[in-house]
Amino acid sequence: MQSSYITHDPHNFLANNWTASTSVCNWVGITCDSQNNRIVALNLTSTSLTGTIPPHIGNLSFLVQLRLRNNSFHGSLPVDIVHLHGLEILHLGLNSFQGEIPSWLGSLPKLQILYLFCKNFTGTIPPFLGIITTLKNLELWNNNLQGSIPKEIGKVTNLEIFNVYGNQHISGTIPPTIFNISSLDTIDFCLQYALW
């Protein structure tokens, strides 16, 4: 996470923990694999950082987990994330990202957990999410999404958790295909949803 993309670091997290005198694999929030010292996880949860995600994030080609929850990252999601073909966990909840949920998320072949909750995503719940058949957790609650829940979600046969509550402009009926997902354990819709 290059300092030029971080505009506010009130607790000096990066300055204190990411220093040139220390191996990157020993930096706080970074996990490397034991064999090749490649970065496989980046966890900056609740570090009070403000800024944008640098496009260079796409260079971490062996990244499996990207967790930036509960900060003040803003702007749109960089398309460079699409290069993280091994990404399984993308946790960006409780930030200030804006815009529509990007279609390139459908090109992450191993994505299992997608958390984009509680901020400013707009537009509709995109049908392309139905092609991410590896998804287990999909949490989109408390955004500004609208329209109906696409029937394509029923194709995510490994889905265990699906939350979209708090999106006040989602309406319509629940696609019956969703109830064919045998793995589904938790499902939470807006209050205005009809079950028929």
Q: Is residue 107 part of a domain?
A: yes
Residue ranges making up the domain that contains 167? 3-188
Q: Is residue 120 part of a domain?
A: yes
Tens-digit pLDDT profile for residues 5-52 = 999 999 999 999 999 999 999 999 999 999 999 999 999 999 999 999
**Rounded to whole angstroms, what are the CA distances from 110 to 13, 24, 132?**
30, 25, 8
Q: Is residue 196 part of a domain?
A: no
> Looking at residue 134, which CATH number applies to its domain?
3.80.10.10
Tens-digit pLDDT profile for residues 72-82 = 999 999 999 99
Q: Is residue 75 part of a domain?
A: yes
DSSP string computed for 74-101? EEPPPGGGGG-TT--EEE--SSEEEEEP
* Confidence band of 195 (pLDDT split at 50, 70, 90): very low
Q: Is residue 91 part of a domain?
A: yes
Number of domains, the chain: 1
Q: Is residue 194 part of a domain?
A: no
CA atoms of 147 and 169, how far apart (whole Å) = 7
Q: Is residue 17 part of a domain?
A: yes
pLDDT (average), residues 62-77: 96
Q: Are 70 and 45 in contact (CB under 8 A)?
A: yes
pLDDT (average), residues 83-95: 98
